[in-house]
Amino acid sequence: MFETVVIGDLVLPDDVLHNGYLAIDAGRICAVGVGTPPEAGQTIDATGKYIFPGVIDGQVHAGSVQGISGLADATIAAAAGGVTTIVDMPFDDPYPVNSIERMQAKIDVINQHASVDVALYATARKGDGTNGLLELADAGACAYKVSTYEYHPVRFPGYDTGELYELFPVMAETGLAVAFHNEDPYIVKRLTDRLFSERSNSASLHGASRPPVAELIANVSVFEIARITGVRCHIVHSSLARGFDHVKRYREEGVRVSAETCIQYLVFDDDDVAQMGAKLKQNPPIRSATEKAALWEKIVADEVDFVSSDHVAWPISKKIKSRFPEERFWHAGTGNHVSCIVHRDGDGTRSATDAGRSVVV
């Protein structure tokens, strides 16, 4: 007899097993099937509901607003939405996770307050070369994160190609991946300065100031350094289908690369940004309906490694400033993965499933 049996529509890697069951013993799924379920001490009847495994959100910024204490709220939200593991980025407020002391302080908060499992990225110390990178790996970092674009000189610094060329060989020694925010700073700065004048303050200009080419140039620059140094490299948020073409091409050449996209790029397009303004501000920006459709084709073709939320809990007060360039970025909540799961309808369109029809195991 098993401890627990759950009855419902089981979501498997390649199919949905309708009217199925799964049996749990000692915290592990021991059996999956259809027909008469086995005996169990507890039976959960979720007939008519989807039964999902716990979701992993591979990109969360829990500490960007409240500092590392934000992990408490973020993990509660994650659990409520069926996310059982989050991978948290290192760019906390006011200081990033770039030392053993900051890593341990964050681990202590997780042990005290986290409601789900948490894995931690670490980052380099800007201006301090490769010092501390090996120690951060030993302390439990699951990967490194760097950015080609600078959002803050201390909390979220940018790294040029010369700096990355020095960092990557040491990162490669650890066997950990290095993930990167993929926007070319020269293109973005030049277009932002020109487009956002005192007379130009519309949401549509945000996408124009960060065009697809800014992503694509960053991808190739960093991947070429990964090729030379041997580091495993990952794009944290490709808003473009062509980003996954880059991954495929470099993999075929033996370079260890991967990429994710985010929920918002699959749900919204630039028409939504024009209507909702800064509530949908995102970097890289949300793209056209055509690009959104192309991303879905990459999902269907199994060319997307995973989908994340890029969660940041900015309060609405940070989204209502008078100048669009000063607005904080919107990011999907980490608990929205299940509610934003979509399916292809018979006519080729896609719509959100009812989040109330899901149970996470």
What is the pLDDT, as a whole number, of residue 341? Answer: 55
Q: Are residues 281 and 177 in the same domain?
A: yes
Q: Are 124 and 144 in contact (CB under 8 A)?
A: yes
Give 272-324 pLDDT, tens digit per residue. Answer: 999 988 888 889 999 999 999 999 999 999 999 999 999 887 777 776 654 55
Q: Which two tokens stand for residue 91?
A: 């760019």
What is the pLDDT, as a whole number, of residue 216? Answer: 98
Task: For 27-52, give one letter per residue: b (16+ CB within 10 A) or e.
Answer: eeeeeeeeeebeebeeebebeebbbb
Q: Are residues 176 and 321 in the same domain?
A: yes
- Could you give the CA distance from residue 54 to residue 79 in angstroms, rounded to a whole number? 9
3-state secondary structure of 360: strand
What is the pLDDT, as a whole number, of residue 352? Answer: 37
Q: Are residues 169 and 218 in the same domain?
A: yes
Q: Are residues 34 and 167 in the same domain?
A: no
Q: Are residues 46 and 179 in the same domain?
A: no
The confidence band for 360, taking pLDDT boundaries of 50, 70 and 90, is: low
Q: Which residue has the higher pLDDT, 51 or 332?
A: 51
- Could you give the CA distance from residue 257 to residue 224 in angstroms, rounded to a whole number? 11
Q: Are residues 222 and 311 in the same domain?
A: yes
Q: Are residues 150 and 295 in the same domain?
A: yes
Q: Find where tokens 């829990």 sit.
A: 62
The reply to whether omega before 94 is within 30° of 0 (cis) is yes
Q: Which two tokens stand for residue 171?
A: 């990162």
Give 146-159 pLDDT, tens digit per residue. Answer: 999 999 999 999 99
Q: Tell me the whole-structure pTM to 2 decimals.
A: 0.89
How many domains is the chain built from?
A: 2
DSSP string, 178-216: EEEE---HHHHHHHHHHHS-TT---THHHHHHS-HHHHH
- Burial class of residue 307, CB neighbours in 10 A (0-12, 13-18, 19+): buried
What is the pLDDT, as a whole number, of residue 120? Answer: 98
Q: What is the dihedral of CA 136, 141, 146, 152, to 10 degrees?
A: -80
What is the pLDDT, as a whole number, of residue 280? Answer: 87
In a domain, 206, yes or no: yes
Q: Are residues 116 and 41 in the same domain?
A: no
In a domain, 361, yes or no: no
Q: Are residues 104 and 85 in the same domain?
A: yes
Q: Are residues 128 and 197 in the same domain?
A: yes
In a domain, 93, yes or no: yes
- The CATH number that applies at residue 264 is 3.20.20.140
The confidence band for 204, taking pLDDT boundaries of 50, 70 and 90, is: confident
Q: Which of 211, 179, 214, 219 is nearest to 306 (CA)?
A: 179
Q: Are residues 67 and 41 in the same domain?
A: no
In a domain, 346, yes or no: yes
Find the domain containing 40 and state its range: 2-51
In a domain, 227, yes or no: yes
In a domain, 80, yes or no: yes
Give 90-120 pLDDT, tens digit per residue. Answer: 999 999 999 999 999 999 999 999 999 999 9
Q: Which of 117, 202, 185, 192 is nearest to 147 (CA)?
A: 185
* Overall average pLDDT of the 149-177 stretch: 97
In a domain, 360, yes or no: no
Q: Residue 102: which region, alpha, beta or left (left: phi > 0; alpha: psi -120 to 50)?
A: alpha
Q: Are residues 150 and 253 in the same domain?
A: yes
What does pLDDT average to over the chain? 89
In this model, does residue 353 exceed pLDDT 50? no
